[in-house]
Amino acid sequence: MTETTDIAVATAANGAASANSAALSVRNLTKQYANAGRRVLDDVSFDVPKGRVLVVVGPSGSGKSTLLRTIAGLEPIQGGEIALEGKVIETGKPGTEKAGRSARSSELRTHIGMVFQSYELFPNKTVLGNIMMAPLLVQKRDKAEVEREALELLGKVGLADRKDSWPHELSGGQRQRIAICRALILHPEVLLLDEITAALDPEMVREVLDVVIGLARAGQTMIIVTHEMRFARAVADEIILLEDGHIVEHSNDPERFFTEPETDRARRFLRTFE
Ligand code: ADP
Ligand code: MG
């Protein structure tokens, strides 16, 4: 009975959101760090429709990580706006360069999840303890329900048998899959992935990327920063090339971006991967 009601509510909510176009909107975003003259992000604007995957590529230092960190609320912005499902969650304020984090509430933070290149799990907690911590502490959810969902997520990433393992007993690829579970259990409207396979041994890259491809198929809205161009091509609905804090090309036809990019800059960038 409750289940039927929940599904009905969820469907209605999805319907409303898709009618409202974008899951995430970034408008004229400007970012500067303290003691650095130039803008690390300058007038960056894009939308991510609900259920779609935006891939961001670009040379090292172009601002990709900074972009994800501002969207996640880990860095304040100095200009522009970030909106989640039509609601503004961040507004740029000049003079905030030195602030550690944005002023976003901890409740709002749970709506956007992020997985980093190498994000250590809490070493003194088991796999299950790591995944269950935020939903119990931040969202105050019921323990039995959280545990049930944690086990379900572990099953989906192929690690059901590692629930009682300690982080130091896991490979890098297994740790990244646990980090993905830890983000997903908060039910983020948007999931941000920042080069999550860059620190992995080559044989572990595939197992992590397969999980991400599964998420994309299941309709998880994501922004993915990656240097794995074949993966980018396979998973992207849209693609942005960032350089020096500017969007130099934004394509909603990834196949075309990879075969016939519009800008010389994109052509040169792609050639470095051949
Ligand atoms: P990418 O992820 O594309 O390699 P980053 O977002 O990490 O790029 O960095 C963009 C620019 O911002 C670089 O010039 C980098 O040196 C600078 N930067 C990144 N983080 C900081 C920081 N905390 N303080 C000052 N400058 C930073
Ligand atoms: Mg980076």
Per-residue model confidence as pLDDT tens digits over 65-98: 999 999 999 999 999 999 999 999 999 999 999 8
CA 46 to chain CA mean position, Å = 15
pLDDT at 119 over 80: no
- CB-ligand 1 contact for 64 (6 Å cutoff): yes
- DSSP 8-state assignment for residue 122: P
Supply the pLDDT for residue 16: 42
Q: At what angle do helices 202-217 and 172-184 cross, to 10 degrees?
A: 20
Residue 10 has pLDDT above 90, yes or no: no
Look at residue 160 and give its three-state secondary structure: helix
Cα–Cα distance for residue pair 88/37, rounded to 1 Å: 27
Residue 117 is predicted with a pLDDT of 93
The stretches of the chain forming alpha helices (DSSP H) are 2-19, 64-71, 106-109, 127-137, 143-156, 172-184, 202-217, 229-235, 254-259, 264-271
Is this complex's ipTM strictly greater than 0.85?
Answer: yes
| Average pLDDT, rounded, for the chain | 92
CB of 50 within 6 A of ligand 1: the answer is no
Q: By mean pLDDT, which of 61-65, 104-108, 186-190, 197-201 is the weakest?
A: 104-108
Dihedral angle over CA of 97, 92, 43, 49, nearest 10? 130
CA 195 distance to own-chain centroid: 10
Across-strand partners of 112?
190
| Alpha carbon distance 139, 122 (integer Å) | 19
Confidence at residue 43, expressed as pLDDT on a 0 to 100 scale: 97
Q: What is the pLDDT of residues 201-219, one digit of tens each?
A: 999 999 999 999 999 999 9
Is-above-0.90 flag for pTM? yes
For the CA atoms of 32, 33, 37, 38, the dihedral, rounded to the nearest 10 degrees, stands at -40
Distance of CA 70 to the CA centre of its chain: 11
43-73 tens-digit pLDDT = 999 999 999 999 999 999 999 999 999 999 9
- Take atom 12 of ligand 1 and give the residue whose Cα is closest: 40
Q: In this structure, what DSSP letter does residue 71 have?
A: H
What residues form DSSP beta bridges with 29? 44
8 Cα to the center of ligand 2, angstroms: 40
Amino acid at 59: P
- Residue nearest ligand 1's atom 23 by CA: 33
- In contact, 92 and 29? CB cutoff 8 Å: yes
Band (pLDDT 50/70/90 cuts) for residue 13 is very low
- At residue 18, the pLDDT reads 43
Which of 31, 32, 40, 71 is the best mutation target for the ligand 1 pocket, counting ligand atoms within 8 Å of the beta carbon and taking the most?
40
Q: How is residue 232 written in tokens?
A: 């980018």
pLDDT over 70 at 251, yes or no? yes
Give the C-alpha distances (Å, rounded to integers) separating 92 from 40, 61, 85, 190, 265: 14, 22, 18, 20, 29
Residue 169's pLDDT band (cuts 50, 70, 90): very high
**β partners of residue 81:** 27, 91
The pLDDT value given to residue 9 = 41
Going from the Cα of 169 to the center of ligand 1, the distance in angstroms, rounded, reads: 32
Which pLDDT value is given to residue 120? 82
Q: How far is CA 125 from the centre of its chain?
A: 24
CA–CA dist 6, 191 (Å, integer): 22
Q: Is 24 helix (H, G, I), strand (E, B) or coil?
A: strand
Cβ–Cβ under 8 Å, residues 211 and 177 = yes
